[in-house]
Amino acid sequence: FFQNLNQHAPKIEISLVHDFSRKVTERIVSYDIDLGFVINPVRHPDLVLKKLGNDQIRFWKKKGHSNPPKRIFADSNLNQMAILLGKTYAKYFSDWSLVETASLELIRTLVSQGHGIGILPERIANAEGFDLVAFDKALPSYADEIYLAYRREVLASRAGKELIRLAHLNLPQ
């Protein structure tokens, strides 16, 4: 995105906002921000949603680590992770400790260092330089859909049209 932006629209200024997808969506609808990359957005009549790709949230471990410590790293504030924990914790992980953090990057790092298993989107688990594998493919996973969200009014300006045109992630389906 930024490489395309630099090449095709170098004078457009960008402010990045990091938040839960539901909050980003609310801020787009309320005219607080113009567009956002969101996961599993709630449909709204004022939103245009352009699907960019899919992802899968599952339990991950360090590659080659057959017996990781009984510790799960997760962000249970994310609905998808809370659902996975709800489906599995009592049955499979009742004697494991749960360590919560809002940083998916920290979860990935701790799991890659062999400190336990983590619940992560596949795209984050498979990021360059990290050697994570599915902990147990028989465990449930959660399908995510990644969208570009914006209001139709954003297309009224030349800058808005250019941002929408450039705001794609080249995600494999």
Closest to 146 in 3D by CA, of 163, 171, 164, 120: 171
Regarding whether 94 and 26 lie in a shared domain, the answer is no
Does residue 61 sit in the same domain as residue 11?
A: no
Does residue 45 belong to any structural domain of this protein? yes
Which two three-digit tokens encode residue 159? 């800058």
Calculated CA dihedral for residues 164, 166, 171, 173, nearest 10 degrees: 50
Tokens for 32, please give them.
Answer: 């607080």
Residue 8 has pLDDT above 90, yes or no: no
pLDDT digits (tens, 9 = 90+) for 106-161: 999 999 999 999 999 999 999 877 789 999 999 999 999 999 999 999 989 888 88
Q: How far is CA 137 from the centre of its chain?
A: 20
What is the reported pTM?
0.84
- Alpha-carbon distance 52 to 33, whole Å? 19
Give residue 128's domain range: 55-143
Confidence band (pLDDT; 50, 70, 90) for 170? low
Q: Are 59 and 128 members of one domain?
A: yes
- Extract the tokens encoding 148: 């570009």
**Would you say residue 173 lies in a domain?**
no
